[in-house]
A and B are shown apart, each in its own frame.
Chain A
Amino acid sequence: MSFTVRKDEARGVVILGVDGQLIVGNRHDLKQKILDAVEAGERKFVIDFTQTGYIDSSGLGVLVSLAKKVREAGGDLRLAGLNDDLRTLFELTKLDTLFTLVDSVGEAVAAF
């Protein structure tokens, strides 16, 4: 389980990959990485869930909190690469209304 961070310099988008799971034991790591980037002036974020097995409710909670903070700073946070099971979690909790869910990172980056 780890997070990867890269940046699409052309579009100024920070892309964070969640490799494994986003759960109660590692949610703070993701939160801190994004908050640090916001502090450094970044405003466009894509979280890549292509390599993610599962997300728990605390992981969902962190995404809600981060989306709020990024939007308050004038930016946006988009979610990409969710498989059908992960999408189901967002739909069940009605959080799909809060986020832009896109199929691929490329699509999410291009939409900024």
Chain B
Amino acid sequence: MAAPARLIVDRHEIPHLGAEGQAVELSLRIPTDLQVVEEAVDLVARHCLASGVSPRAARFVVRVVLCEALANAILYGNRLDPAKTVEVRVHLDNDTVRLHVRDEGAGFDPTTIPDPTAGDPAGADKGRGLFLIRQLVDDVRFNERGNAICMTMRRA
């Protein structure tokens, strides 16, 4: 299937296991195009805000970490290949916001990314995005291949 020219959005409610109410999941399929990052981030942030996520988390944390993850997926994962796409899933329940971002690249080993604050911060040209993600959310996990990241924020 050819990559979409614009992002594709799907929203659905799912049964919330073990608690009252429902969880909501938003899925986006995003073309490998840096110009679409802003639109995708804005859409997800507004969805989080409308779902009761705190304004600071929705307007700042979600935007920064999703922007970082999408940029990494497009630049280093899909390597700007327009035939590839990036998949985003946003899962909201009563306790957490989880942002999943998966690209179609070969993956990477996150343990090899240097700490950009370890030496001269002005000299660091790699790792600042992943560093910010780790600082701003409560939990960060990668799949074994290293082409998908899951960022979890606890809802206050």
Chain A residues proximal to chain B, CB less than 8 Å:
1, 20-21, 23-26, 53-58, 60-61, 64, 67-68, 85, 89, 92-95, 97-98
Contact between A57 and B121, CB atoms less than 8 A apart? no
Query: Smallest CB-CB separation from B66: which chain A residue?
Result: A56
Contact status B116-A93, CB under 8 Å: yes
Chain B minimum-CB-distance residue to A54: B63
Query: A89 with B64: in contact, given A56-B129, A58-B129, A60-B128 (CB under 8 Å)?
Result: yes
When distances are taken between beta carbons in the complex, the residues of chain A under 8 Å from B38 are 1, 20-21, 23, 25-26
In the complex, the answer to whether A93 meets B131 with C-beta atoms within 8 Å is yes
| Least CB distance, B140 to chain A, in whole angstroms | 15
Residue contact A93 to B63, C-beta cutoff 8 Å:
no
CB distance from A86 to the nearest CB of B (A): 9
Chain B interface size, under 10 / 10 to 19 / 20 to 34 / 35 or more: 20 to 34
Contact with A along B56-71 (1 / 0, CB 8 A): 1001100110011001
Q: Is the CB of B132 within 8 A of A89?
A: yes
Which one of A56, A64, A67, A85 contacts B68 once the chains associate, using CB atoms below 8 Å? A56
Q: Is the CB of A61 within 8 A of B128?
A: yes
Assess whether B35 is interfacial by the CB under 8 Å rule. Answer: yes
* A57 adjacent to B60 (CB under 8 Å): no
Contact of A25 among B35, B68, B131 (CB under 8 A): B35
